[in-house]
Amino acid sequence: MAHTKKIALITGANKGLGFEMARQLGQAGVTVIVGARDEVKGEAAARKLRDKGLDAQFLKLDVTDNADRAAAAGFLEDKFGRLDILINNAGIAAEGLGAGRTVTTTADVIHRTFETNFFAPVALTQALLPLLRKSDAGRIVNMSSILGSQTLQADPNSQIYDFKSLSYDASKTALNSFTIHLAHELKDTKIKVNSAHPGWVKTDMGTEAAPMELPEGGRTGVALALLKEDGPTGGFFHLGKPLPW
């Protein structure tokens, strides 16, 4: 029997924003695949969602591992025959947000950051695109950051002008560029591709100093994952409002 519910894969979904978006999508009636590299933590997260009555299962997925990416595509093909929603959420801030000075950031930090925040989501999306093409309404959400906005980073009057970390910010700028390019390539299909800025949220990365709680932080990604046919593509959004590239 064909699986009629929407299928969503969220990377880095065992905690924080990834888990929150999985929870919100599950509450919306979506089957959620909890992608995580740690099997114990990933399975525990999926179990926690199931205990809430949601349709969730764990998938071992280290986004930087080519074998894991290929296995994920095979699993989704065999289990569901398609993918409706891909949320590229897994990410790192190797030096902490706002802590990576341009003149001292090492090549190793830049490479590690880009490996997870840019190269991995590009490769995973490419691997899963054939399955997204089989969806009646494919949605790709790249979890970016306002810190990747070149316009705001260059504006002395913007709220983020003095909040800079080269490796993290540049990786999110690159991810935004991927969004623009992929959306253009897919503009004549039913697939929509957008970047999301969740806000400064209380997570391991955002710290307890952040003003936003997880439920509000998850709203932008979830809204873009559930866009209607007349929704936007190739944009950068926060809580329904466009952000400058």
What is the number of domains present in the chain? Answer: 1
CATH number at residue 179: 3.40.50.720
Query: What tens-digit pLDDT sequence spans the chain (245 residues)?
Result: 467 899 999 999 999 999 999 999 999 999 999 999 999 999 999 999 999 999 999 999 999 999 999 999 999 999 999 999 999 999 999 887 767 789 999 999 999 999 999 999 999 999 999 999 999 999 999 999 999 999 999 999 999 999 999 999 999 999 999 999 999 999 999 999 999 999 887 787 778 877 779 889 999 999 999 999 999 999 999 999 999 99
Among 217, 216, 225, which residue's Cα sits nearest to residue 29? Answer: 225
Q: Look up the domain containing 45 and give its range.
A: 7-242
Residue 155 lies in a domain: yes
Has residue 73 been placed in a domain? yes
Q: The tokens 């299909």 sit on which residue? A: 189
Asked, for residue 40, whether it belongs to a domain, the answer is yes
Asked, for residue 1, whether it belongs to a domain, the answer is: no
In a domain, 2, yes or no: no
**Which residue shows structure tokens 């099997």?**
39
Q: Which residues are catalytic?
A: 168
At which residue do the structure tokens 């997204």 appear?
132
Q: Give the C-alpha separation, 110 to 130, whole Å.
A: 30
Q: What is the pLDDT of residue 201?
A: 79
CA 132/CA 7 separation, integer angstroms: 10
- pLDDT at residue number 1: 46
